[in-house]
Structure 1
Amino acid sequence: MRTRPITTAVALGATAGLAIAAAAPATAATTAKLSVLHGVPGLTVDVWVNGERTLDDFEPGELAGPLDLPAGTYTVAITASDAADASSPAIGPVDLPLAAGGNYTAVAHLDADGDPTASLFTNDISQTAAGQGRLTVRHVAAAPAVDVLAGGSPVITNLANPDEQVLNLPAGTVSAAVAATGTTDPVLGPTDVTISEGVNTIVYAWGSLEAENLAIAAQTIGGLHSAPAGVPSGELGLASTDAGSSATPWLIAAMAGVGVAAIAGLGVARRRTVAVSVDR
């Protein structure tokens, strides 16, 4: 499934909307849930919403949200870091519409050729079948395409920037490996990966292979195994090879095998390095 491209201003501007609407009541009928990943290396910016600075010195690798935003349209401008005002934006202004009931992740990233771009992903929050979990893999790095194998057969093929693939899998462990696109000879693995019931685990590869600043980010959305009372909450956290991480260690390691993971440290939600949870 392909993503819908948007401008970098839109992706970063969505983060600004988080700052002005963090206190909004979370009602699925009137709000949208938005998370933002800043995955453009070397670009620090200020974000302005409706003429007000709402995010200062937003740095690469930072994750914001998820937070509930009132449905509507936000006018966003992007300036150089510490600009006096938004009168001379580097990008924008641009209008960002958010639909009620939606769950989104906006990602500012590099395209396959290393040029800045952005993509808006709609997160799959549909219920999972009893006993199943969900794995979403998103390629937003300036790096080559890969195939993901399960039991020796390809289950994700030719995954390239800026695409994603979503798999609904039985809860438990899956023997997974990664191969160069078009082959079934693993470059790494197979390795067991845990699929959690009722959870959408979303893994992002971002950064640049050539610049050797590739990194992994992980986002989990739980509460999908039964009808939720509202929009499912999410958790943003660091990708890790430690046991129990919300990221899938096999994917992080496997991408390294095809040149998609010289993992760098990530900042989470304004430089915090602990996971951030949001109640439903």
Structure 2
Amino acid sequence: MKTQILRAAAAGVLAVGTVVLGSPAATAQAGTSDVSVLHAVPGVTVDVYANGDELLTDFEPGTLTDPTPLPQGEYDLKVTEAGAGPNADALIEANGVAVPAGANITVVAHLQPNGDPALTPFVNDTSPVAAGQARLTVRHTAAAPAVDVRADEEPVFTDLTNPNEDSTEVPAGTVSADVVLAGTSDVAIGPADLDLAEGANTIVYAWGSAEEENLDLAVQTISGLHSAPGGVPSGTGGQAAASDGVATWAWALTGMLLAGSAAWLLVRRTASARHS
């Protein structure tokens, strides 16, 4: 049963790796893709290989990677149980995955509101931010109902549903943020202090499962977005409109994602039947 669960979960993670390898970055050098990955599916730790080389090791739920430049080309992908090594039997694999170039993306493997796994690529906004301002982006990737996101107990975003996002510009500074059930003051996540840096896009992900009581936040910061030239946009990971190429690539992966989701559902239903 452990192997079945790992295989099913790895399907979602491999789909993430596939999307990542196909995701371009607007500010990357020509012919490369700068991508970040958030593993927001609780319960499985894996290693991911590309053309036999380690891409991600001991990739645990809640981990948000730093941006990684990947050369344009084709990649053979393989996911194994963490620590098993590149020659171990694959939990899942895909060959000939194409890498284009063009946008800045974070790909999230997460849970849908009903608890089933899903894959959502988000295009990160790297447009200029006005002087003295910060961009705040919130992404709902948790198995939870609609929520409101508050800063210092004042609603900033309301009725946000999975897998959607919202964004605004606010004065730079530190705020106390929390997530409440939509239309209520019932805190689901937080509060947590957020440092909203001037000229940066601070991206907050709500992830996990309300039913399993493991909701959490992941934070990603994309800096260097000052209105005046201030550097190349970059990103940092935390415990966190696409080009035609990205859209085409995403549709090509839909079949793999659906297969992974179906496997996950089969495992859950089988386990449920055995305990009924």
TM tier relative to shorter chain: 0.5 to 0.7
Structure 2 residue 130 is the aligned partner of structure 1 residue 125: no
Does the C-alpha gap of structure 1 residues 157 and 71 become closer, same or farther in structure 2, counting only changes over 3 Å?
farther
- Give the corresponding residue for 1:250: none
Q: Call closer, same or farther: CA 1:153–1:92 in 2, change over 3 Å.
A: same
Does residue 49 of structure 2 align to residue 44 of structure 1? no
SS in 1 for 2:44: coil
TM-score, normalised with respect to structure 2: 0.65
- Which whole-Å CA distance do the structure 1 matches of 2:53 and 2:178 have between them? 47
Identify which of structures 1 and 2 has the higher relative contact order when contacts are C-alpha pairs closer than 8 Å and 6+ apart. 2
Q: Distance in 2 between matches of 1:218 and 1:11?
A: 18
CA distance in 2, matches of 1:140, 1:220: 17
CA contact 1:32–1:98 (8 Å) conserved in 2: yes
User: Conserved in 2, the CA contact under 8 Å of 1:139 and 1:160?
Assistant: yes
- Matched with 2:246 is none
User: Offset at 1:39?
Assistant: 1.5
Q: 1:12 is matched with which residue? A: 17
Query: How high is the sequence identity, in percent, across the aligned residues?
Result: 51
Which residue does 1:61 correspond to in 2?
62
Counterpart secondary structure, 1:207: strand
Contact 1:36 1:63 in 2 (8 A): yes
SS for the counterpart of 2:148 is strand
Q: CA RMSD in A?
A: 3.8
Alignment coverage as a number of residue pairs: 225
Name the residue aligned to 2:199: 198
The residue type equivalent to 1:37 in the other structure is: L
**What is the CA–CA distance in structure 2 between the aligned matches of 1:177 and 1:59, rounded to whole Å?**
24
8 Å CA contact 1:16–1:55 kept in 2: the answer is no
Following the alignment from structure 1 to structure 2, what is the Cα–Cα distance between the partners of residues 51 and 190?
42
AA in 2 matched with 1:133: A
Cα contact 2:21–2:98 (8 A) shared by 1: no
Q: 1:100 to 1:237 in 2, by over 3 A?
A: same
How far apart in 2 are the matches of 1:32 and 1:229?
21
Alpha-carbon distance between aligned partners in 2 of 1:228 and 1:191, rounded to the nearest angstrom: 31
Q: Deviations over 1:192-238 (max 9, x none)?
A: 97643211001112222222222211111111013557641222234
Q: Give 1:156's aligned residue.
A: 157
Q: CA deviation at 1:63?
A: 2.6
How big is each residue's C-alpha offset from its partner over 1:7-65, in whole Å with a ceiling of 9 and x where there is no partner?
Answer: 53131356789xxxxxxxx9533322211111111112221212445434322222322
Superimposed CA distance per residue, residues 218-267 of structure 1 (whole angstroms, 9 cap, x where no aligned partner): 1111110135576412222349xxxxxxxxxxxxxxxxxxxxxxxxxxxx
| 1:235 to 2:240 alignment | no
Contact 1:206/1:216 (8 A) holds in 2:
yes
Specify the alignment match of 1:116 in structure 2.
Answer: 117
Superposed, 1:56-205 pairs within 5 Å as: 56-83=57-84, 89-93=90-94, 96-148=97-149, 155-172=156-173, 179-181=180-182, 183=183, 185-187=184-186, 195-205=196-206
Specify the alignment match of 1:251 in structure 2.
Answer: none
1:136 partner amino acid: T
Q: Distance in 1 between matches of 2:196 and 2:64?
A: 23
Contact 1:33 1:101 in 2 (8 A): no
Is contact 1:80–1:90 with CA below 8 Å preserved after alignment? Answer: yes
User: Which structure 2 residue ranges, 5 or more long, are not aligned?
Assistant: 1-10, 241-276
- SS of the counterpart of 1:165? strand
Q: Distance in 2 between matches of 1:75 and 1:27?
A: 22
Distance across 2 between alignment mates of 1:178 and 1:48: 36
Q: 1:146, 1:157 within 8 Å by CA — same for their partners in 2?
A: yes
Q: Which amino acid aligns with 2:216?
A: A
Matches within 5 A, 1:186-265: 186-187=185-186, 195-226=196-227, 228=229, 231-238=232-239
Structure holding more helix per residue: 2
Q: Which amino acid aligns with 1:127?
A: P
> SS at 1:202's partner residue?
strand
TM-score by length of 1: 0.65
Residues 102-160 of structure 1: CA deviation (Å, up to 9, x unaligned): 22112222221112222211111111123321001111111221123579985423212
